[in-house]
């Protein structure tokens, strides 16, 4: 969690896990962790483990290798995104959404394990 919180918040912040939501996903398991930082910012991180040979789809791209990975949203170079969160489709596809529904200011951040 710490690498995602630091990347998303762009600095080290203490945080509290508010909720863990397990998603039905035919490709393995997916758990969404919702957290709030000590200064009140809230976001989420998704952890996945897929069986050998499958990859996670995020928007129009397929990324990751089989195994364990985690995903979060972070501002990209345009720095127009605040409050980025992951949106999860019913099929398990991941995409980033910023405040007010904007998508161009955030990028998917992946950590493979």
Residue pair 98/105 in contact by the 8 Å Cβ criterion = yes
What's this model's pTM, rounded to 2 decimal places? Answer: 0.74
Distance CA 70, CA 74 (A): 13
Please give the pLDDT value at position 98: 77
Rounded-to-integer distance, Cα 106 and Cα 86, Å: 10
DSSP string, 11-65: S---EEEEEEEEEP-TTSEEEEEEEEETTS-EEEEEEEEE-TT--EEETTEEE--
74: three-class secondary structure by DSSP? strand
pLDDT by residue (tens digit) across 38-49?
999 888 999 988
Tens digits of per-residue pLDDT, 42-68? Answer: 889 999 887 655 455 555 454 545 578
């Amino acid at each position: 969690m710490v690498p995602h919180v630091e990347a998303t918040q762009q600095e080290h912040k203490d945080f509290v896990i508010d909720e863990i939501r397990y998603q039905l996903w035919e490709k393995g398991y997916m758990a969404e962790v919702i957290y709030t930082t000590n200064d009140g910012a809230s976001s989420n991180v998704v952890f996945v483990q897929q069986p050998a040979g499958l990859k996670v789809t995020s928007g129009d791209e397929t990324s990751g290798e089989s195994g364990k990975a985690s995903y979060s949203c972070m501002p990209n170079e345009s720095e127009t995104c605040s409050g980025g969160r992951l949106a999860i489709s019913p099929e398990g596809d991941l995409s980033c959404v910023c405040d007010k529904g904007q998508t161009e200011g955030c990028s998917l951040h992946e950590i493979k394990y």
